[in-house]
Amino acid sequence: MKKSILFLFIELLLCQYIFADIFCKAKVLKIGGTEIKGNAKIENVSLKIISGKHKNKIVSVKNYLWDEKNYNTYIKPGDTIVIRINETIDGKIDRVSIKGYRRDKILFLFLLVFLIVVFLTCGKKWLVVIASITVTISSFMFLLLPMLKNGHPPIIACGSVAMLIALAMLLLILGFSKKFIASVLSLSIGMLFSVLLSIIFINLTKISGIFMEGSRMLLTATRSITGWTISDFRGIIIGSVIIAALGVTIDIIVDIVVGMSALHNAKKDIARKELMASGLKIGRDVLSGMLGSLFLVFTASSIIMMTVYTVLKTPALRVINWEFFAVVLLEAFIGSLTFVIVIPITVLVSSLIFTKK
């Protein structure tokens, strides 16, 4: 059982690289008889392909229903499902297999709901919100992931994309001004700090990179795609620290810089010390709330793994020293440390930029 699941998993991963295959949607016409073979029930299904280059062809497929019901795709006539077609060299259908349920319609429905909510709650600001979200998601999808796929060093890829997103967001919020320059400067110092701190602590805790959540999936995939090495995995930890902390860091920098510049505009001859004190006060007011939201996101994204440890009743000393958990702690701590350190950095940099002495 243990082995069969593992092999199934490996096979699923490997198959996607060995064969040239196409994903497309198909409609279930009818379900023929079922037969039982080992621990699987097999349904004979006939499908009509409704998208892609084999459109309107009718194929028959075997739908395997395992005794582990969560891995199965249950279908009935009239349903639309996603299938994978393996082609022969001359472009004919070789083998068809069922991949899963159709989800794109519901995904787009949800995006519509999201747009409506943004439109209703944000009023005139909806364009700014949609623009910044689109910039963020599309620079991940079309810039960061392809860069990493093509084997660029993860620290440089993540760092430059994070900087790009930050520049776009800051321009959108602040416009090109002294405020913008101050925030970009403080952000880049903060990012350098977090890179340095991550490198030191990854070396100290001797994190190898292969025991992180999902890193085995990634290794299996990268083996057949690019010439990745394990040290790049340590780079990805640093990249994820930078990106995870980027959002809250930008928020707090904008808060501080806007507050300080307003104060400076109100009172042109304000002393640098006074300006710095009020900047620090603004930072302190929002510190604990934002730090809390960062921590809760990290908790949420490691809940499933923690449930696994709870199932296994692994002793706490073992869990903390385990690489899986050490990486999560490292990311959470360095991310939030960066966020905290950025407050005095921003106060210092903007006071240097705003006042002459």
The footprint of another protein on residues 14-43 (CB under 8 A) is: 16-17, 21-25
Residue pointed to by tokens 């110092």: 189
Q: Dig out the tokens for 145 from the structure.
A: 């992931």
Cα separation, 4 vs 137, in Å, equals 37
Q: 62: buried, middle or exposed (CB in 10 Å: 19+, 13-18, 0-12)?
A: middle
For another protein, the binding residues in 261-320 under the rule CB under 8 A are 280, 283-301, 303-308, 310-315, 317-318, 320
Residue closer to another protein (CB basis): 35 or 210: 210
Residue 26 host element (H or E): strand 21-37
Residue 212, SS3 per DSSP: coil
Determine phi and psi for 19, rounding to 5 degrees: -100, 145
In this chain, which of 31, 270, 337, 348 binds another protein, going by CB under 8 A?
337
For another protein, the binding residues in 234-253 under the rule CB under 8 A are 234, 236, 239-248, 250-251
Query: Does 98 interact with another protein (rule: CB under 8 A)?
Result: no
Of the candidate spans 55-63, 87-95, 115-123, 176-184, the one that interacts with another protein by CB under 8 A turns out to be 115-123
Cα separation, 253 vs 247, in Å, equals 10
- Report yes or no: 82 and 99 within 8 Å, Cβ to Cβ: yes
Query: Does 136 interact with another protein (rule: CB under 8 A)?
Result: yes
CB of 169 to another protein, least distance (A): 6
CB of 213 to another protein, least distance (A): 6
CB of 219 to another protein, least distance (A): 5
For another protein, the binding residues in 172-191 under the rule CB under 8 A are 173
For another protein, the binding residues in 206-235 under the rule CB under 8 A are 206-208, 210-223, 225, 229-231, 233-234
Cα separation, 316 vs 309, in Å, equals 9
Of the candidate spans 33-41, 175-183, 260-268, 321-329, the one that interacts with another protein by CB under 8 A turns out to be 321-329
Q: Which amino acid is at 157?
A: A
Cα separation, 347 vs 280, in Å, equals 6
Cα separation, 266 vs 303, in Å, equals 48
Residue 100 host element (H or E): strand 93-101
Query: Does 96 interact with another protein (rule: CB under 8 A)?
Result: no
Cα separation, 97 vs 87, in Å, equals 12
In this chain, which of 41, 99, 152, 272 binds another protein, going by CB under 8 A?
99
Residue closer to another protein (CB basis): 68 or 274: 68
Taking the CA atoms of residue 319, residue 323, residue 329 and residue 330 in that order, the dihedral angle to the nearest 10 degrees is 150
Q: Dig out the tokens for 270 from the structure.
A: 């304000």
Number of residues that bind another protein (CB under 8 A): 152
CB of 184 to another protein, least distance (A): 16
CB of 202 to another protein, least distance (A): 8
> How many whole angstroms from its chain centre is CA 243?
9
Residue closer to another protein (CB basis): 149 or 268: 149
Residue 184 host element (H or E): helix 178-204
CB of 32 to another protein, least distance (A): 23
> How many whole angstroms from its chain centre is CA 157?
14
Residue closer to another protein (CB basis): 92 or 206: 206
Query: Does 93 interact with another protein (rule: CB under 8 A)?
Result: no
Q: Dig out the tokens for 135 from the structure.
A: 């910039």
CB of 142 to another protein, least distance (A): 11
Residue closer to another protein (CB basis): 23 or 177: 23
In this chain, which of 45, 47, 187, 254 binds another protein, going by CB under 8 A?
254
In this chain, which of 256, 330, 349, 353 binds another protein, going by CB under 8 A?
330
